[in-house]
Amino acid sequence: MIRVEGAGPGCWGYNDNPEAPTFTPSVLVTYNGPNAGIDGAPPAVCHSFVTDGRIQFLGDCTHTFAGQTVDLADFD
């Protein structure tokens, strides 16, 4: 189940299509990756747009999907 709450500026948008979802704005996640904090390494970053069931990983991602667009995985 996907649940998006809120209304007005700064809140999430969702196209109401669970088969090919679009979320707005972009999704930005920072997390402690395997090298975070080691020798001053920053936290890991995953920044993406989810549009029509595809994930566009932006160039500021710190993982191997940076700059790629992939299909959203099926889920139940």
CA-atom Rg of the chain in angstroms: 14
d(CA 41, CA 7): 37
d(CA 59, CA 1): 29
* pLDDT at residue 2, as a whole number: 43
Each residue's pLDDT tens digit, 14-71: 999 999 999 999 988 888 877 666 777 678 889 999 999 999 999 999 888 999 999 9
Query: Count of residues for the chain?
Result: 76
* pLDDT at residue 55, as a whole number: 97
pLDDT at 6 over 60: no
Residues 48, 63 contacting (CB under 8 angstroms)? no
